[in-house]
Amino acid sequence: MKQNNQPWCLTGISLVVMLLTIFLFFSCSSTKMVRKPPPFQVIKSILAKDVDKTGSSGAPVDVTDTFTISDQKVVSHVQLKNVSGKHTLKWEWYMPDGRLYYSSKGCDVAPAKGKYFKDTSAWHNIFIDGDKASAFPGTWMVKVYYDGDVISTKNFEIQEMDRNLGAVVINTTPENATVRILNIKPKFFQGMKLGAGEYDVEISAPGYQTQRMWLTVKSGTHNSFDLPLQPAQPAGVNFLSKRNSYAVIIGISRYQFSSTDGLQELAFADDDAEAFRNMLLQLGWSNSHIKTLINENAKRNDILIALESWLTKVGPDDMIVLFWSGHGFPDPEDPEKVYFACYDTNINIPATGYRMDRVREILQERNAKNVIVLADTCHAGKLITRGSKGISVQPYVQKLKREQRIPKGWIYMVGADTDRLAIEHSSWSNGAFTHTLLKALGGEADGFESVSPKDGVVDMRELRAYLESVMPDDTQKVLGTAKRPIITTSSGDPEIWNISLDLK
């Protein structure tokens, strides 16, 4: 199952406990003063596919006791009456073989002193589709406890009705290897049911070479794959010293034509660039190997010189990092042609921007093999959105991936996708992507999710895992909506993930 968060409660009209994968809600429609409290009653216990939370009581939606593995979730909903004093609600979910699948943490139900809840409802759910429950069709049971006493026991069916799915088991050597399916959102688990098709699978383990391949899944059958990993090459094979690591860092908050052509000025894009430069210096980079262009020093000609002249010293085995924070915009005639907005860009004349594919062409001419592109820019749906950055590099990155044109050894890490607006926030003093990136490189990603050993060095594998997990959590907490990075590379080059920006 997905990772659970600690429960929390809201006081007032509704009391709510939320879990990432398994949710518990408690709401009350009315509160009365207590003289002589009437007796407690359980009015109803219902199973449903969802709950309508627009009202004060939470109404079950699609009431049923029969579900399929393609349903999103199972909701256990109870309606209570005359609740006074402090009490605890708890749910237990049991699998078809009788084993406990999940036990919720107790939630305290406590009306204000001297009052009682006349009518209340509470509900809790487990997810099916995309979670472990989908691997166990059959008759399940859920129990609801009130102060340790069972107040409801319900049986329900999870049916394997979809014949278009196939169970997938991936046996790895070593057994503790991490398996990721890169072209689906849910995390992989053994026995996971997937539709027929091709799946991009990556397997990694500390001390072993990462393996990436496409696996073919057939529907209506059991798909088993044996995928052993090879021991890693000796330490130091992918180490890149100060001598051969170069970075071009660009951050633009102010624009020359912001008042006339609509380029919105940004609060923290220039701070993003400064903060990333300082991080590289902390990681042992030489100042002479970092070119930083900020605001009026990031005119189109300045950027041309940095990328097409200053980088001529780079050799094919050197590492190049390109960091860009600011606006991006598409060519109106071809949205997949994406431009970075320079300080002196006029968006009515796309050629005054810097085309992203030009970076690839220039560096490919130098046979650059280790290139990391970091972009804190996003797709706003329109160019002018207050407090946001502009249109993202995502269409361009998707085109490269679709046409298999991402050069071997290149990694793209982009701040947001087309339907998730990346917003700066004063509590970070950075864009959402840069904020998470800095925390990761500062050490929080070291050993993250055990994708690599915790050894004091953050490699690209750890950085990817951290960004994909932490950025949605951080943005959900601060912005109220989860924003996810786009991270992609060329296929068939797993060793790129062993590279680190740490040169100490």
Using CA atoms, how far apart are residues 85 and 76, in angstroms rounded to an integer?
A: 23
Q: What tokens appear for 464 in the block?
A: 């990817």
- Per-residue pLDDT band for 210 (boundaries 50, 70, 90) equals confident
Helix residue ranges, H only, 145-216: none
Q: What is the C-alpha separation between 379 and 393, in angstroms, rounded?
A: 8
pTM of the model: 0.53
391 and 329 in contact (C-beta within 8 Å)? yes
Query: What's the CA gap between 286 and 280, in Å, rounded?
Result: 8
* Among 208, 212, 225, residue whose Cα is nearest residue 181: 212
The contacts of residue 2 (CB under 8 Å, 6+ apart) are 20, 21, 127, 131, 187
Share of the chain above pLDDT 70, in %: 78
Mean pLDDT along residues 428-447: 90
Give the pLDDT confidence of 316-370 residue by residue, as tens digits. 778 999 999 988 877 777 776 788 899 999 888 888 999 888 888 888 887 788 8
Q: Is the pLDDT of residue 101 over 80?
A: yes
Q: What is the mean pLDDT of residues 90-118?
A: 84
* The pLDDT of residue 389: 42
List every span in the chain annotated with CATH 2.60.40.3880.
14-159
The domain made up of 14-159 is a member of CATH 2.60.40.3880: yes
Kindly report, residue by residue over 367-409, the tens digit of the pLDDT.
788 899 998 875 332 332 323 444 445 555 556 555 556 677 7
* Strand 115-127 with 73-84, pairing: antiparallel
Q: Which fold has domain 244-498?
A: Rossmann fold (3.40.50)
Rg (C-alpha) for the chain, rounded Å, is 27
Is the pLDDT at 128 greater than 70? The verdict is: yes
**Residue 231, beta-bridge partner list:** 208
From-to residues of CATH 2.60.40.1120 in the chain: 165-228
Q: Which two tokens stand for residue 287?
A: 């100042």
Q: What type of residue sits at position 63?
A: V
Q: pLDDT value at position 301?
A: 94
Is the domain spanning 165-228 CATH 2.60.40.1120? The answer is yes
CA pair distance 21, 130, nearest whole angstrom = 10
Contacts of residue 103, Cβ cutoff 8 Å, sequence gap at least 6: 90, 91, 92, 93
Task: Check pLDDT > 90 for residue 48.
Answer: yes
Element (H, E) at 389: none
Residues 167, 172, 175, 176, CA torsion sign: negative
> How far does the chain reach from its first CA to its final CA, in angstroms?
38
Residue matched to tokens 């904020």:
435
Q: Would you state the pLDDT for residue 383? A: 32
Q: Above 50 in pLDDT, residue 18?
A: no
